[in-house]
């Protein structure tokens, strides 16, 4: 009789183990051997299931996404300001379990070196500094651009750049999904509060508050309970001071 293997259950355990390794150690510690040790199984079992670091990182990110869905949504209030408060609580780590999720997420994103667009313009910072210091740009590049025909990156540098790109590619979909979910939830919060259009600036401020409070919790500067309290207080204050709100 053929042996039946519960591959769905196996991936569920690997996903949880990858999450635990990142939470308890670091992204750099994430490996098939480390996950096997976490599960108390042979490394070959893990090798047959996942290809390498990128797969494990995706599984850890998937566990973050899955845990975020549990217990954070479905709460409802007929009072619009209270409902907005419940929604913003769903975006911040309001207890230790949710803090684990945000810690793992922060470690994953930081390790993949995601960069905002517009920050990689060669010489732009030097040019702007020259204008600020002297009132003009001398036009002389600080570092001559390398001649592609005569100078190539070292194998170590090339490998590092390839690894960083692989890491960004592995988690790009999760980052985009998180950005979309965050934007949609904040838009719903502002809709509940009656904030009129256009509200892009207000939405950016709410997102900044959410991410700032989350980072403070991850750094241990605020407890999750205090983070939830401040988030709800911010939304309540925003509702009370919105245009047309009752005095």
Mean pLDDT over residues 136-149, rounded? 57
Asked if the structure places residue 45 within a domain, the reply is: yes
Residue with the larger pLDDT of the pair 154 and 230: 230
- pLDDT confidence of residue 112: 78
Q: State whether 202 and 242 are in the same domain.
A: yes
Asked if the structure places residue 143 within a domain, the reply is: no
User: With b meaning 16 or more CB within 10 Å and e meaning fewer, what string describes 103-120?
Assistant: bbbbbbbebbeeeeeeee
Residue with the larger pLDDT of the pair 138 and 111: 111
Q: Where are the alpha helices (DSSP H) in the chain?
A: 7-24, 32-39, 43-47, 53-69, 80-89, 96-111, 124-134, 155-193, 200-218, 224-240
Is the predicted pLDDT of residue 2 greater than 60, yes or no?
Answer: no
Is the predicted pLDDT of residue 109 greater than 50, yes or no?
Answer: yes
Show the domain range for 27: 7-70
Q: State whether 98 and 22 are in the same domain.
A: no
Q: State whether 176 and 247 are in the same domain.
A: yes
pLDDT tens digits, residue range 95-107? 998 999 999 999 9
Domain count, the chain: 2
Q: State whether 61 and 82 are in the same domain.
A: no
Mean pLDDT rounded to a whole number for the chain: 82
pLDDT tens digits, residue range 178-201? 999 999 999 999 999 998 888 999
Q: State whether 110 and 181 are in the same domain.
A: yes
- pLDDT confidence of residue 242: 61
Residue with the larger pLDDT of the pair 167 and 217: 217
- Residue 76 region by backbone torsions, left for phi larger than 0, else alpha for psi between -120 and 50, else beta: beta
Q: State whether 88 and 208 are in the same domain.
A: yes
Q: State whether 180 and 224 are in the same domain.
A: yes
pLDDT tens digits, residue range 195-228? 888 899 999 999 999 999 999 999 999 999 999 9
Q: State whether 86 and 179 are in the same domain.
A: yes
Domain holding 29: CATH number?
Answer: 1.10.10.60
Q: State whether 12 and 108 are in the same domain.
A: no
């Amino acid at each position: 009789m053929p042996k039946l293997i519960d591959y769905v259950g196996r991936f569920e355990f690997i996903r949880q183990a990858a999450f635990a390794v990142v939470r308890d150690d670091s992204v750099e510690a994430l490996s098939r051997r480390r996950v096997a040790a976490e599960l108390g199984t042979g490394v070959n079992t893990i090798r047959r299931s996942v290809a390498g670091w990128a797969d494990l990182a995706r599984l850890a990110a998937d566990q973050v996404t899955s845990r975020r869905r549990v217990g954070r949504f479905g709460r409802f209030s007929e009072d619009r300001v209270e409902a907005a408060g419940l929604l913003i609580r769903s975006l911040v780590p309001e207890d230790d379990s949710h803090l684990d999720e945000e810690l793992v997420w922060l470690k994953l994103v930081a390790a993949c070196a995601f960069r905002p667009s517009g920050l990689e313009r060669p010489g732009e910072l030097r040019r702007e500094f020259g204008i600020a210091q002297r009132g003009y740009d001398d036009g002389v590049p600080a570092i001559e651009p390398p001649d592609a025909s005569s100078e190539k990156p070292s194998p170590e540098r090339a490998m590092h750049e390839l690894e960083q790109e692989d890491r960004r590619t592995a988690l790009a979909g999760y980052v985009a999904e998180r950005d979309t979910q965050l934007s949609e939830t904040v838009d719903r919060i502002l809709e509940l509060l009656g904030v009129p259009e256009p509200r892009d600036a207000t939405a950016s401020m709410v997102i900044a508050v959410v991410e700032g409070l989350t980072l403070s919790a991850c750094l241990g500067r605020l407890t999750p309970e205090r983070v939830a309290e401040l988030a709800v207080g911010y939304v309540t204050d925003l509702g009370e001071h919105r245009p047309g709100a009752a005095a």
